[in-house]
Amino acid sequence: MNNAAFQEKLTSIRRDFHAHPELSRKEKQTAKRITEHLDELGISYTTGLAGNGIIADIPCNNREAPFIALRADMDALPIEEETGLPFCSQKKGVMHACGHDAHMAILLGAAELLLQEERSYPIRLLFQPAEEIGAGAKEMIEAGALKDVAVIFGGHVDLFYRTGTMVATSGPLGASTDEFTIIIKGRGGHGARPHESVDAVVVGSLMVMAIQTLVSREIDPASPSVVSVGRFHAGTKSNVIAGQALLSGTVRAQKQEVRTHLREGISRIAKSVGELHNAQIEIDFREGTPPLVNPEEVAEVAHAAAAKVVGEHNVVKPRVVNMGGEDFSFYMKEIPGCYVRYGAQSPGKRSYPAHSSKFDFDENVLPIAAHYLSAVALKAMDWLETKKH
């Protein structure tokens, strides 16, 4: 298949996925479409992992060799699309606004390319559900997706970088995504007699301001981190002092030690402010995805593959700090891996951020990223051979 035909094929596949998005844990028809493409390629697969996940294996002659895994995510977001594209979402209130439609098409393209190559190691394709809720990777692992896998690779389209460039480097590329909830129990009363009460609004307000000092005064400025209180609920009437308040927010960090410090700091500050004002405090943390950090040795493999596809001068360093989460990090807690960013900035067009109702990307990235995944799998075979000696 020539380059133009390959581009056209992947574009058609991406647009079909885009027009038929499905939310996390509801990717049933998406999975069906993927298996139809796998059938066309003659690749065997197992469905129903972690709900709607798929494992597809491309074998080789060496039955003793471990797998090299390539991963794509499948789910869409609860967003009403406003792109005006001719292939826009046909499902009201659901949209592929993060590029997962691209990722599935890219992985299918890489599979087609790898079928044409001599392979000394088998390839495992992972089509993962529920990335947007940070659950799919963990559940795929529990279902055995990494059994006999030596290394894993993945990537994400990125509108911060022009098409034809890639970010393939070692070090942090994404943040942890923990959440916290704080319940403040004071004592309600009349707004005219505050001395008879323990005002949960005052306690909560002090807590919000104090928590902000964690990042500004306790964390090294060279270690990106975020603590954001996104919800503050208290009170029922203007002349009634609230006896209870609820705060909830997110904690982001690119280093595990910073993640731990922030969690401990929030607990320390919340309890101290509560004690200062005679309020009872309950704190609950929901652990999200770990920081996404590429190990140097595997990043070198990814860099070499990227350079082969786009040229050394087009493999760039991260231009912005990414504080978003990515549950690919769960795979890399288990085995070595590397995650990259595919430049997908449409020339001459305004770029909208991921999770925007107007998000779109340059479809010329599709064959580039497919060739990268194929190349990195082949480079990883050579790397695994060197690890034997």
* pLDDT band at 218; cut points 50, 70, 90: very high
Same domain? 302 vs 276: no
pLDDT score recorded for residue 20: 98
pLDDT digits (tens, 9 = 90+) for 115-165: 999 999 999 999 999 999 999 999 999 999 999 999 999 999 999 999 999
Same domain? 113 vs 249: no
Count of all residues that appear for the chain in the document: 389
pLDDT digits (tens, 9 = 90+) for 295-318: 999 999 999 999 999 999 999 999
Reading the block at residue 290, the tokens are: 């770990």
What is the overall mean pLDDT for the chain?
97
Same domain? 223 vs 166: no
pLDDT score recorded for residue 157: 98
pLDDT score recorded for residue 212: 95
Same domain? 244 vs 325: no
How far apart, in Å, are the Cα atoms of 205 and each of 88, 247, 272? 43, 10, 14
pLDDT digits (tens, 9 = 90+) for 31-48: 999 999 999 999 999 999
Same domain? 182 vs 51: no
pLDDT score recorded for residue 174: 95
228 CB neighbour count, 10 Å cutoff? 12
pLDDT digits (tens, 9 = 90+) for 44-55: 999 999 999 999
Reading the block at residue 51, the tokens are: 């709900």
Greatest CA separation for the chain? 82
- Does residue 92 register a pLDDT over 80? yes
Separation of alpha carbons 341 and 331, rounded Å: 17
Same domain? 282 vs 294: no
Share of the chain above pLDDT 90, in %: 96
Same domain? 167 vs 197: no
Reading the block at residue 115, the tokens are: 């079928």
Same domain? 309 vs 244: no
- Does residue 193 register a pLDDT over 80? yes
For residue 263, what is the domain's CATH number? 3.30.70.360
pLDDT score recorded for residue 63: 86
Reading the block at residue 217, the tokens are: 């005064």
Separation of alpha carbons 274 and 185, rounded Å: 9
pLDDT score recorded for residue 180: 98
pLDDT score recorded for residue 374: 98
Domain final position from 265, 286, 307? 286
* pLDDT band at 338; cut points 50, 70, 90: very high
What is the phi/psi pair of residue 308, to 5°? -65, -35
For residue 325, what is the domain's CATH number? 3.40.630.10
Same domain? 185 vs 141: no
Specify the pTM.
0.94
pLDDT score recorded for residue 345: 96
Residues 170-182: what's their mean pLDDT? 97
- Does residue 12 register a pLDDT over 80? yes
Domain that holds residue 201: 178-286
Domain final position from 252, 286, 320? 286
Backbone dihedral region of 378: left (phi > 0), alpha (psi from -120 to 50 degrees) or beta? Answer: alpha
Same domain? 33 vs 133: yes
Residues 341-369: what's their mean pLDDT? 95
Domain final position from 243, 268, 286? 286
Split into its structural domains, the chain has a count of 2
Same domain? 352 vs 364: yes
